[in-house]
Amino acid sequence: MWKKGLLNVLYNICIFLCFIAAYQYGIIQKQYAYIFGAVVFIVIFIILKIRLLKEIKNAQKKP
């Protein structure tokens, strides 16, 4: 179970880093391809995070 918690923290860090990259490279430096790439990765990590949280929730209900 702690592995899933660690994976959740990793997803949070990746989402945060994607926001920083989108802001730093996309908005400030006007490189819009970086914004598109960051948004794609943010969506992927959010989907994976939701699946993980549903899995954790179902695992806690079973006992």
Q: How far apart are CA 45 and CA 14, in angstroms?
A: 7
- pLDDT (tens, 9 = 90+) of the chain, 63 residues, equals 889 999 999 999 999 999 999 999 999 998 899 999 999 999 999 999 999 999 999 988 866
Handedness of CA 22, 23, 29, 35 (dihedral sign): positive
Round to the nearest angstrom and report the end-to-end CA distance of the chain. Answer: 14
Q: Please give the single-letter amino acid code of residue 8.
A: N
